[in-house]
Amino acid sequence: MPNGAARVLGLSGGQSLGVGPASYGQACVKLAPGTILALYTDGLAETRIRPFEQGIRLLRSALTRQHQHLDATCEHLITSLAEHREDDVTAVLARIPPGPAPPPRYRQADRTGPW
């Protein structure tokens, strides 16, 4: 976040993509300009010797530092947290741009379906 804090969004998880038929919901979260949104697979945070919650703490700590270039930040996350690469590892970072937010666009939220 722009103030240097990092938090985990309280969103429910679901079945892994590609495993089989599943339904997924959607959520709308407001993020302040300058916020870095991190999307990642569990292989970045969890290993055989590091529990998931410990990996999340390390990830949050790494994301609280100032980051000018997101590509370098992604590289740092992967090399420091997934050095052994026991599982698939994916990290995607996006910085919320400054300026007025576009008006929200909502899709009908009363249905979910298989992907």
Cα–Cα distance measured from residue 17 to residue 29, given in angstroms and rounded to the nearest whole number: 22
- Tens digit of pLDDT for each residue in 70-100? 888 888 888 887 777 777 788 899 988 887 7
Q: Where are the beta strands (DSSP E) in 1-115?
A: 36-40, 91-95
In sequence order, what are the residues at sequence separation of 6 or more whose Cβ sits closer than 8 angstroms to the Cβ of residue 94?
36, 37, 39, 70
Q: Bridge-partner residues for 114, per DSSP?
A: 23
Query: Is the pTM value of this prediction over 0.85?
Result: no
User: How many helices (H) and strands (E) would you count in the chain?
Assistant: 3, 2
**Model confidence band, residue 112 (pLDDT cutoffs 50, 70, 90):** low
Closest CA to 50 of 84, 77, 16: 84
**Model confidence band, residue 1 (pLDDT cutoffs 50, 70, 90):** low
- Tens digit of pLDDT for each residue in 18-67? 778 887 778 888 888 888 888 888 788 888 888 888 888 888 888 887 66
Per domain, the residue ranges of the chain are: 36-95
Contact 82, 74 (CB under 8 A): no
Q: What is the pLDDT of residue 114?
A: 55
